[in-house]
Amino acid sequence: AAGVIQSPRHLIKEKRETATLKCYPIPRHDTVYWYQQGPGQDPQFLISFYEKMQSDKGSIPDRFSAQQFSDYHSELNMSSLELGDSALYFCASSLGLDDPGTQYFGPGTRLLVL
């Protein structure tokens, strides 16, 4: 079965640079979520989109922005990167209200800020 695709899988950036993470949800899934997982920590919710509209916002820094496109893929844009942004970034997708409680996660993008 098709899964959530994330790219790139690994990314190394310098402080103050920008990064763009991409997420391709499972076909027919209309809701996308972004989570950040620091070393040894649980995933923390950043932001979500339903039908291309922002549906919820968590502890996402103002330096980050995201959007969902017409083909339902989503991009997380991160600017003025800081050392503390180094983490695993997961995208998850779901059918939203049609299949509540089931968010499927991608393999993640490992971001390292030097």
Partner 1 sequence: QKEVEQDPGPLSVPEGAIVSLNCTYSNSAFQYFMWYRQYSRKGPELLMYTYSSGNKEDGRFTAQVDKSSKYISLFIRDSQPSDSATYLCAMSALFGNEKLTFGTGTRLTIIP
Site residues (CB under 8 A) for partner 1? 4, 31, 33, 35, 41-45, 48, 50, 55-56, 58, 88, 90, 92, 94, 96-97, 100-108, 110
CB nearer partner 1, residue 18 or residue 106? 106
Contact yes or no for 77/109 (Cβ under 8 A): no
CB nearer partner 1, residue 18 or residue 41? 41
Q: Which two tokens stand for residue 98?
A: 């049609």
Minimum distance from CB of 46 to partner 1 (Å)? 9
CB nearer partner 1, residue 61 or residue 107? 107
Strand partners, 91: 34
